[in-house]
């Protein structure tokens, strides 16, 4: 089946630094990818929709200048958490629909970010 990978799986960084998380579709092309954040014992919350070749669409309350998204190719989207703070510590997950308009979605394994 379709596979989505994320890198890194776990990252610890100091407050004030920036962290880049990659999301790759390994055996299919994804014009759209979704980025989610999950705090402990809470459900996933959609942060933004990443669109290949155009600007990302951010959900209400998500700062686009803090969470930079770049969908550089049909198989790669990156999320950069800029000037990270401890409250940004969370589990970040991406997903990708298998085709345009497809409701079948494949999830990455997630990236656990800890900001000290």
Partner 1 sequence: KNEVEQSPQNLTAQEGEFITINCSYSVGISALHWLQQHPGGGIVSLFMLSSGKKKHGRLIATINIQEKHSSLHITASHPRDSAVYICAVPPFGNEKLTFGTGTRLTIIP
Give the binding site for partner 1 (CB under 8 A): 32, 34, 38, 42-46, 49, 91, 93, 95, 97, 101-110, 112
* Shortest distance (Å) from residue 82 CB to partner 1: 23
Does an H or E element contain 113, and which? strand 111-115
Nearer to partner 1, 14 or 100 (CB): 100
Q: Shortest approach of partner 1 to residue 32 CB, angstroms?
A: 6
Nearest residue to 65 via CA among 56, 74, 73: 56
> How close are the terminal C-alpha atoms of the chain, in Å?
37
What values do phi and psi take at 28, rounded to 5?
A: -155, 160
Q: Shortest distance, CB of residue 75 to partner 1, whole angstroms? A: 17
């Amino acid at each position: 089946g379709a596979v989505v990978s994320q890198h890194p799986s776990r990252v610890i960084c100091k407050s004030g630094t920036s962290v880049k998380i990659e999301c790759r579709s390994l055996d299919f092309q994804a014009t759209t990818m979704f980025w989610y954040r999950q705090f402990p014992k809470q459900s996933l919350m959609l942060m933004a929709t990443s669109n290949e070749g155009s600007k990302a669409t951010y959900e209400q309350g998500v700062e686009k200048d803090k969470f930079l998204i770049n969908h550089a190719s049909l198989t790669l989207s990156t999320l950069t958490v800029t000037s990270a703070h401890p409250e940004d510590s969370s589990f970040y997950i991406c997903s990708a629909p298998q085709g345009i308009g497809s409701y079948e979605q494949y999830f990455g394994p997630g990236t656990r970010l800890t900001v000290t």
